[in-house]
């Protein structure tokens, strides 16, 4: 009975405690930091079992929450990206004697765009009512929920598979990039028809109401939009804008990469705090609580700012054909050159202000919910 109190017996009963113990006083700072990192990785691997479905669920919940809270800015962004509203803005500028964007400096053009954005936002509420700010939320959720679920599922499980099979179970920058590219391609291909229908329905309803003829709407509902698109443009019509979506993989890849680097920095900072032996300050607690939210928001801000023109081009390419059945934009390069010639470089950043105001908090909300649901499911990102 007495041997049960010996150290060897205790260790035999709890082998996991022996694996993660670190002699703090016998380690040099560099070795200690690596020891903490290795121990954290070991604890994470032994305490959580891969649950592929958890990423799908967490991504869907995160996408639904963020889309609902930021719907008004999504409506505004879609309107500002379309050539219909750009034509209205140009007419208003001409009536007020404001020169075209091509004749304005970058600062004045940006300031004018910023003020016009909020003018349109307030006019939507006054003219159409507050419900108009949530126009297209149903179709938007129909697209956002599966898109985010697929994207987070493909990324989370892709990262795990790539690291386990090609990098000895260790994460690295190239692992994050490969997983993000794969997730972006899969998501874009699977959800392009949903986004095309959503964009066309939103613009179709807005045009009819602006003309004062609600009965002149081209599409009755989502199924009618799909039917007319296939009848007039063939099945490939549902994938208009897919090339621009693939171009947008650069944005999601950059976003995931920056987010993972932000999380890595936070992990190192936490390890250094443990290494120092001091008690966490209020600032340390604030960073620990909001660090990942800040990492998600800043990653989206940088990625969206760099790659924004593809959003406008994608929206233009998804627009319905003209009244005579012709397509104004027939391809990625042709769409870019047409917009550049007719509207100038500023048109490639139409809707940038509401887009940035929407996607930055949206990313913070979405990634925050993603991490939270994963924890509830007993797994890790």
Residue-wise pLDDT for 147-202, tens only, equals: 999 999 999 999 999 999 999 989 999 999 999 999 999 999 999 998 888 888 87
Q: Is the pLDDT of residue 343 over 80?
A: yes
Average predicted confidence (pLDDT) for the chain: 80
Specify the range with the lowest mean pLDDT, choosing from 316-320, 332-336, 369-373.
Answer: 316-320
Residue 194: CB partners within 8 Å, gap ≥ 6?
A: 139, 142, 143, 146, 147
| pLDDT score recorded for residue 103 | 67
Q: What is the pLDDT of residues 24-57, one digit of tens each?
A: 444 444 444 444 444 444 444 434 567 899 999 9
Query: Could you tell me the pLDDT band of residue 18, with boundaries at 50, 70 and 90?
Result: very low
| pLDDT score recorded for residue 253 | 96
Residue of higher predicted confidence among 63 and 82: 63
Residue of higher predicted confidence among 20 and 370: 370
Q: Is the pLDDT of residue 235 over 80?
A: yes
Long-range contacts, stretch 257-261, CB < 8 angstroms, 24+ apart: 257/173, 257/176, 257/177, 257/180, 257/299, 258/295, 258/298, 258/299, 258/302, 258/303, 259/295, 259/296, 259/299, 259/367, 260/171, 260/173, 260/176, 261/173
Taking the C-alpha atoms of 226, 326, 81 and 219 in order, what is their torsion angle to the nearest 10 degrees?
-30
Q: What is the DSSP letter of 97?
A: T
What average pLDDT score do residues 61-84 get? 82
Q: Is the pLDDT of residue 340 over 90?
A: no
Query: Could you tell me the pLDDT band of residue 83, with boundaries at 50, 70 and 90?
Result: low
**R_g over Cα of the chain:** 25
Q: Do 267 and 40 contact (CB within 8 A), yes or no?
A: yes
| pLDDT score recorded for residue 84 | 66
Residue whose structure tokens are 């809270």: 69
C-alpha span between 347 and 146 (Å, rounded): 30
3-state SS assignment for residue 186: helix
Q: Which helix or strand (DSSP H or E) is residue 124 part of?
A: helix 106-128
C-alpha span between 124 and 102 (Å, rounded): 27
C-alpha distances in Å from residue 141, one per residue of 53, 70, 138, 148: 20, 12, 5, 10
* Closest of 110, 144, 136 to residue 353, by C-alpha: 110
**CB atoms inside a 10 Å sphere around CB 234:** 10
Q: Is the pLDDT of residue 212 over 80?
A: no
């Amino acid at each position: 009975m007495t041997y049960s109190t010996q150290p060897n017996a205790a260790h035999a009963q709890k082998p996991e405690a022996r694996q993660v113990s670190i002699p703090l006083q016998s380690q040099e700072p560099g070795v200690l930091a690596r020891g903490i990192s290795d121990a954290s990785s070991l604890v994470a691997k032994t305490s959580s079992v891969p649950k592929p479905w958890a990423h799908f669920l967490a991504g869907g919940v995160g996408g639904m929450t963020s889309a609902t809270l930021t719907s008004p800015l999504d409506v505004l962004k879609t309107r500002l990206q379309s050539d219909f509203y750009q034509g209205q803005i140009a007419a208003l500028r001409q009536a007020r004697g404001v020169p075209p964007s091509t004749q304005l400096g970058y600062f004045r053009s940006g300031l004018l765009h910023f003020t016009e954005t909020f003018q349109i936002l307030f006019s939507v509420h006054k003219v159409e009512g507050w419900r108009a700010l949530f126009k297209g939320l149903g179709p938007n959720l129909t697209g956002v929920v599966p898109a985010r679920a697929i994207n987070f599922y493909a990324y989370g499980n892709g990262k795990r598979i790539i690291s386990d099979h090609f990098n000895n179970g260790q994460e690295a920058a190239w692992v994050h990039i490969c997983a993000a590219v794969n997730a972006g391609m899969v998501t874009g291909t699977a959800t392009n028809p949903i986004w095309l229908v959503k964009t066309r329905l939103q613009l179709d309803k807005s045009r009819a109401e602006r003309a004062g003829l609600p009965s002149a709407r081209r599409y009755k509902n989502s199924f009618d939009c799909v039917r007319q698109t296939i009848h007039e443009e063939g099945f490939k019509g549902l994938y208009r804008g897919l090339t621009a979506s693939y171009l947008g993989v650069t944005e999601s890849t950059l976003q995931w990469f920056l987010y993972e680097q932000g999380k890595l920095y936070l992990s190192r900072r936490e390890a250094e705090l443990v290494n120092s032996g001091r008690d966490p300050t209020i600032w340390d607690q604030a960073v620990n609580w909001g660090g990942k939210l800040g990492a998600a928001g800043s990653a989206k801000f940088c990625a969206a700012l760099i790659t924004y023109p593809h959003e406008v081009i994608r929206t233009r390419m998804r627009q319905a054909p003209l009244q005579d059945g012709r397509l104004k934009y027939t391809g990625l390069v042709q769409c870019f050159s047409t917009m550049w010639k007719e509207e100038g470089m500023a048109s490639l950043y139409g809707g940038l202000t509401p887009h940035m105001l929407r996607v930055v908090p949206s990313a913070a909300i979405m990634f925050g919910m993603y991490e939270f649901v994963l924890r509830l499911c007993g797994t890790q990102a």
